[in-house]
């Protein structure tokens, strides 16, 4: 399966068939990018899948913070953390344009779009509670609900919205830094006053309770870590209960919370990049080479600097929060560098032995995403081997490598016989409320 680049302009895309997309219509440069992002997302998800959640940002909590473990954190901070999710969000935004362009001639275009999105919402809820607390399907569907009216906006307008959200997010990280510092300082002061036998005011009692909640998550004791591990290694009901406590919190956040700004930001940018042909591989080799040079030229030194600052502070949470003021700029620049590399490879037809399987993984992104969750849930929780908390940080990536190999091998084989991945087929059939053809004649 050789990567083929779509060269159709916007006008041709808009006039395209309104039926579900077929194999011949696949824009496999985007598929390869989606596959790359999907595999890359597991680099970060694996940490929270295999060990205590706070270790995601702070390896001193558990899993090791020296030697190979420290270098693993540094490399992921510079090249992967947030960057793969950024790419995935951009491709999701682009898919909104691709889908609605095919539907413009249909009266039920909005019905199809929202039915598709609401089914994704339901899949996300089930996935989050049963398999993976860091599920992205539910928030993607929530954010996708507002994208339909923006489908015809100019690329410039979409980029402006994305840029505004990016700046706002940076401000949120700075505000979080001040809030976290205040929580720690006031909480410690209240605890010291209590130890001295002083009667605490209502404000001090609140500060003490807030700090204790912060400490339990960010600085758990050995006993608290053991209790957490026992829940995740317990029977399936214990695992679901442990997951539900966290998922219910995430799902109860306001619709306008900054976590959604993060997603909207990159979705709007992705919609703009699709409209300008960047995600279609229509730009010149020089353009993509410059994207690589500028993206990595900004992102690598910036993210390396923040990694150095955080490590030097011994992963001080306040320092980390303030360092995140450059988070979105750093992850977007690296993501654009990754995008440029993938587009150059697809455009030039290079490394076809890798690009073709990546495209197949991308075509089956939904199925492969759930597959990752099923396998890791079985490996780490009481559903199966119960290895949660038993591996060091660097050892988690042996699991990642094994899953990558399986998906890169199986996905092309599956697509030789079937039009879609199994979950993609189900999603399409539910979206169009009609059973879709599955086998290739």
Cβ neighbours for 57, distance < 8 A, ≥ 6 positions apart: 315, 320
What is the model's pLDDT at position 28?
Answer: 80
pLDDT range class, residue 20, cuts 50, 70, 90: very low
pLDDT range class, residue 270, cuts 50, 70, 90: very high
239 burial level (CB within 10 Å; 0-12, 13-18, 19+)? buried
Is the distance from CB of 332 to CB of 18 less than 8 angstroms? no
Cβ neighbours for 196, distance < 8 A, ≥ 6 positions apart: none
Residue 416 pLDDT > 90: yes
Average pLDDT rounded to a whole number, residues 341-346: 94
Average pLDDT rounded to a whole number, residues 122-137: 97
Whose structure tokens read 């089914």? Answer: 119
Average pLDDT rounded to a whole number, residues 299-318: 96
What is the model's pLDDT at position 27?
Answer: 57
What is the model's pLDDT at position 94?
Answer: 95
Q: Where are the alpha helices (H) located in 252-364, listed in sequence order?
A: 258-275, 285-312, 317-323, 327-348, 352-363
Average pLDDT rounded to a whole number, residues 2-17: 34
CB atoms within 10 A of CB 256: 9
What is the model's pLDDT at position 7?
Answer: 33
pLDDT range class, residue 375, cuts 50, 70, 90: very high
Prediction pTM value: 0.91
Domain ranges of the chain: 10-167+230-432
Average pLDDT rounded to a whole number, residues 331-343: 97
- The per-residue pLDDT of the chain, averaged, comes to 91
Residue 238 pLDDT > 60: yes
- pLDDT tens digits for 159-209? 999 999 999 999 999 999 999 999 999 999 999 999 888 888 889 999 999
Average pLDDT rounded to a whole number, residues 97-115: 89
pLDDT range class, residue 255, cuts 50, 70, 90: very high
């Amino acid at each position: 399966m050789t990567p083929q680049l779509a060269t159709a302009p916007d006008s041709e895309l808009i006039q395209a068939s309104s039926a579900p997309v077929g194999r011949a219509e696949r824009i496999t440069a985007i598929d390869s990018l989606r596959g790359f992002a999907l595999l890359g997302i597991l680099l970060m998800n694996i940490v929270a899948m295999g060990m205590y959640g706070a270790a995601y940002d702070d390896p001193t909590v558990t899993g090791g913070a020296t030697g190979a473990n420290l270098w693993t954190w540094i490399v992921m901070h510079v090249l992967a953390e947030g960057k793969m999710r950024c790419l995935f969000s951009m491709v999701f935004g682009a898919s909104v344009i691709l889908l609605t362009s095919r539907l413009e001639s249909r009266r039920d275009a909005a019905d199809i779009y929202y039915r598709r999105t609401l089914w994704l919402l339901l899949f996300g809820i089930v996935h989050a509670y049963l398999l993976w607390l860091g599920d992205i399907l539910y928030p993607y569907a929530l954010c996708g609900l507002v994208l339909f009216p923006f489908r015809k906006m100019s690329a410039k307008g979409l980029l402006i919205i994305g840029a505004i959200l990016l700046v706002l997010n940076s401000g949120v990280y700075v505000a979080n830094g001040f809030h976290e510092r205040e929580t720690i300082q006031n909480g410690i002061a209240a605890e010291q006053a209590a130890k001295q036998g002083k009667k605490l005011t209502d404000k001090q009692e609140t500060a003490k309770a807030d700090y204790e909640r912060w400490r339990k998550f960010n600085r758990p004791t050995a006993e608290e870590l053991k209790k957490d591990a026992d829940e995740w290694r317990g029977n399936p009901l214990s695992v679901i209960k442990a997951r539900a406590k966290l998922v219910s919190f995430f799902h109860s956040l306001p619709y306008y919370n900054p976590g959604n700004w993060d997603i909207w930001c990159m979705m709007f940018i992705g919609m703009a990049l699709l409209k300008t042909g960047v995600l279609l591989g229509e730009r010149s080799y020089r353009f993509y080479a410059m994207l690589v040079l500028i993206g990595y030229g900004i992102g690598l030194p910036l993210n390396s600097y923040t990694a150095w600052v955080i490590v030097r502070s011994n992963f001080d949470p306040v320092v980390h929060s303030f360092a995140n003021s450059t988070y979105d700029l750093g992850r977007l620049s690296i993501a654009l560098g990754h995008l440029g590399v993938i587009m150059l490879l697809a455009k030039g037809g290079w490394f076809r032995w890798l690009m073709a399987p990546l495209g197949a993984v991308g075509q089956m992104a939904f199925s492969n995403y759930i597959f990752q969750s099923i396998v890791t849930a079985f490996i780490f929780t009481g559903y199966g081997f119960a290895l949660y908390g038993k591996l060091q940080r660097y050892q988690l990536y042996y699991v990642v490598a094994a899953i990558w190999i399986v998906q890169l091998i199986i996905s092309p084989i599956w697509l030789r016989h079937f039009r879609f991945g199994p979950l993609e087929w189900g999603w399409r059939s539910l979206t169009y409320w009609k059973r879709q053809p599955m086998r290739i004649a």
